[in-house]
């Protein structure tokens, strides 16, 4: 049996968009800038396990209670994946995650 993971080093939120919703994604991104977060690059091309355009938002555990509730109320209809960063990418994305909006299929083979 594998040793349970107990340490969350941080969190990632992946904000998904398409050409029709990119303007909404920009508004959400502007709102996220008010928090102590790292805003990743826009990925119009598919990257990693993500099968839709997105950008990543990285934040420390002490920001979870600020960032995630804000996203719940202000995601402007976009789908958002929130997951911990524990060092186990597959479990972080697939088992230990939460979705705001619709759950989007991920390319599982791209995860560790």
37 pLDDT band (50/70/90 cuts)? very high
pTM score, whole prediction: 0.91
Sign of the four-CA dihedral 110, 108, 38, 57: positive
**Residue 78, in any domain of the structure:** yes
Q: Is residue 1 scored above 50 in pLDDT?
A: no
**Residue 4, in any domain of the structure:** no
6 pLDDT band (50/70/90 cuts)? low
Number of domains in the chain: 1
Give the pLDDT confidence score for residue 48 in this predicted structure: 86
**Residue 6, in any domain of the structure:** no
Give the pLDDT confidence score for residue 110 in this predicted structure: 74
* Domain boundaries, position 44: 14-107
Give the pLDDT confidence score for residue 3 in this predicted structure: 56
**Residue 2, in any domain of the structure:** no
What is the percent of the chain with per-residue pLDDT over 90, rounded to a whole number? Answer: 79
Which residues, in sequence order, are CB contacts of 26 under 8 Å at separation 6+? none
Cα-Cα-Cα-Cα torsion 84, 95, 104, 81, nearest 10 degrees, comes to: -20
CATH value at residue 71: 3.30.70.1240
């Amino acid at each position: 049996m594998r040793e349970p993971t107990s340490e969350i080093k941080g969190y990632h939120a992946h904000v998904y968009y398409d050409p029709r919703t990119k303007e909404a994604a920009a508004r959400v991104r502007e709102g996220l800038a008010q928090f102590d977060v790292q805003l990743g690059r826009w990925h119009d091309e598919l990257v990693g396990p993500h099968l839709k355009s997105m950008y990543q938002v990285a934040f420390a555990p002490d920001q979870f209670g600020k960032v995630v509730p804000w996203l719940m109320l202000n995601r402007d209809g976009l789908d958002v994946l929130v997951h911990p960063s524990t060092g186990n990418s597959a479990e972080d994305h697939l088992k230990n995650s939460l979705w705001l909006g619709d759950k989007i299929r991920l390319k599982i083979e791209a995860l560790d």
